[in-house]
Structure 1
Amino acid sequence: MIRSRHLHPGPPRGPREARLGGVPLTVLVGVTGVGKSTALAALRGADPAARVLPDRRQITDDVMILPLAGRAVTDRAERFALTARYRQLHPGGMAHALGTLSADLDHWGGHLIFDGLRGLEEVEYAAATFPAWRFVALNAPDGVRVRRLLGRADGFDRLAGGDGSDLRAELGRLPGVGEVFTPAELDALAALAAEGYDPADVLAKTAIVVTERQHYDPDAASAFLRTLPPRRALVLDTVALGPGQVAAAIRAWA
């Protein structure tokens, strides 16, 4: 059950409720550490009437994971596995889950924001199935994402793994790491320990980025969004653009 009495699974229950799939919705698209919080603040600033829906984490917990696992799950790797199973059952994954919810429009208003979708499958499904939705995609290189994760204190950012005692070797042993980082990039990540970062934390954050990339391809998602009409999709590089420039671009587009 969604932890909001103004949003629930299933069909509308009253005349002022509507399926989210049929109402205008601005959707942030991006993997962990690309700068969605900045974009969310910009969207709120551009439209004071905008309302932010429960985020991806909460809907994942309540609609996707709890029905499958029967319990709360905090380990990122296990969560990725469960959400992958949900996508097997329901093409579109999070986009499907979000579109099937019903919202009380008297509470939420007419301009809703959701944070967010990830990967090609979700955005293709959302764009094709929900024509009222618009998308703001944010991108950043994977090494930058690791650094950003190291700079935030979020207890959710954890994965079971090594202790970082031999950081470079442990980074190289992460499953699938060679498909995401080059040896030189792994050297640079290992060097973060010399900058004062906890080696175990570097290892954990790198594992999050690698595991997430195994399930969601942000480059493919952005390439697809660039094929949509400009009024439906905006794609931004959060390294080339600083926070103020990101905010300005979103305000101009909105």
Structure 2
Amino acid sequence: MSEPPPLPYLRAAPAPAGPWVPLAEMPLTVLVGVTGVGKSTALHALQEALPDTRVLPDRREITDAVILWPLAGSPVTDREQRFRLTAQYRAAHPGGMAQALGSLHGDTRHWGPAPVFDGLRGLDEVQYAAQHFPAWRFVALGAPDPVRVGRLLGRADGFDRVQAGAAQDAQNLRAALAALPGADAVFSPAELDALAELAGAGHAPEDILAKTRIVLSERRQYDPQAAERHLRALAPGRALVLDTVALGPAEVARAVRDWVGGGRV
């Protein structure tokens, strides 16, 4: 078994006294949302507007070190395999990423008193965090699933990998999309038509199929609408919920900046 990926200035319990404080007790600002909703855009804007903001290792890094390494003992790059292993972790730890993050201690000499974390997903994680970590505040970002597929196609992130199967041509792409597990529960026939038509905009059919598989795999694990409903029911000032389609990137950035910086939208 290889060594776990390092998490600089973070430690699992028990941690030394002094500047090492449980993240569970710190007033974290936590971004909430599934892949492709615009969290990276919001985070970048927040860092530009509030340059003293310290950002914890992101969800991917915490997952690698705290969740996947104990289960697999080696790096896991395929997105669907990662979803399967994180589901296995959640079977024993119902708080999922919230529980993993809350188990760590941070060195406040590096992270400061109120860092930011990107991010949580789904009702179980949000519910656990809101209940167990009362100092945490949440910024939830949402976008429809077809929009998320389009954003994944446009961002060229090497992490967005799945085994796409046999290469698809434009003629049979629509049928292949409809055959994906869970496609009929997430996408309407018209939305599947629109996804297939993305091939005409220059996207490779196999890329469209792969990115749609990522969205479907994630939706089998997390319900973003349920998470948003729970956050909206929290006490005023504890959560900000934004639609990243209705609001452009600049508007999202301004809303997050004002809210985190002390204002309230």
1:89 maps onto 2:92 in alignment: yes
Paired residue for 1:50? Answer: 53
Q: Which stretch has the larger CA shift, 157-166 or 50-59?
A: 157-166
Q: Return 5+ residue gaps in structure 2 as ranges.
A: 261-265
Paired residue for 1:214? Answer: 220
The one of 141, 145, 148 equivalent to 2:144 is 141
Paired residue for 1:173? Answer: 179
Q: Secondary structure at the match of 2:200?
A: helix
1:224 maps onto 2:227 in alignment: no
The 1:250–1:5 alpha-carbon spacing in structure 2 relative to 1, beyond 3 Å, is: closer
TM-score computed with the length of structure 2 as normaliser: 0.93
* Deviation, structure 1 residue 69: 1.2
Measured on the aligned residues, the alpha-carbon RMSD in Å equals 1.1
The one of 17, 22, 27 equivalent to 1:24 is 27
In structure 2, how many angstroms separate the alpha carbons of the residues matched to 1:145 and 1:155? Answer: 16
In structure 1, how many angstroms separate the alpha carbons of the residues matched to 2:156 and 2:69? Answer: 25
Q: Secondary structure at the match of 1:211?
A: helix
**8 Å Cα contact 2:7-2:65 kept in structure 1:** no
**8 Å Cα contact 1:150-1:202 kept in structure 2:** yes
In structure 1, how many angstroms separate the alpha carbons of the residues matched to 2:28 and 2:202? Answer: 42
* Deviation, structure 1 residue 42: 2.6
Q: Return 5+ residue gaps in structure 1 as ranges.
A: none
In structure 2, how many angstroms separate the alpha carbons of the residues matched to 1:186 and 1:219? Answer: 20
Paired residue for 1:65? Answer: 68
The one of 62, 74, 82 equivalent to 1:79 is 82
Q: Secondary structure at the match of 1:197?
A: coil
Equivalences, count: 254
Paired residue for 1:186? Answer: 192
Per-residue deviation, residues 210-250 of structure 1 (Å, max 9, x unmatched): 11000000000001000012311000000000011001111
1:150 maps onto 2:156 in alignment: no
* Deviation, structure 1 residue 2: 5.1
In structure 1, how many angstroms separate the alpha carbons of the residues matched to 2:21 and 2:5? Answer: 16
Whichever residue aligns with residue 52 of structure 1, its letter is V
Paired residue for 1:101? Answer: 104
In structure 1, how many angstroms separate the alpha carbons of the residues matched to 2:45 and 2:15? Answer: 30
In structure 1, how many angstroms separate the alpha carbons of the residues matched to 2:160 and 2:186? Answer: 19
Runs of 4+ residues deviating >2 angstroms: 45-48
Paired residue for 1:235? Answer: 241
Whichever residue aligns with residue 119 of structure 1, its letter is G
Q: Secondary structure at the match of 1:187?
A: helix
* Deviation, structure 1 residue 47: 2.6
Whichever residue aligns with residue 182 of structure 2, its letter is G
Paired residue for 2:263? Answer: none
* Deviation, structure 1 residue 164: 1.9
Whichever residue aligns with residue 197 of structure 2, its letter is A
Whichever residue aligns with residue 115 of structure 1, its letter is D
Paired residue for 1:127? Answer: 130
Q: Secondary structure at the match of 1:52?
A: coil
TM-score computed with the length of structure 1 as normaliser: 0.97
**8 Å Cα contact 1:2-1:8 kept in structure 2:** no
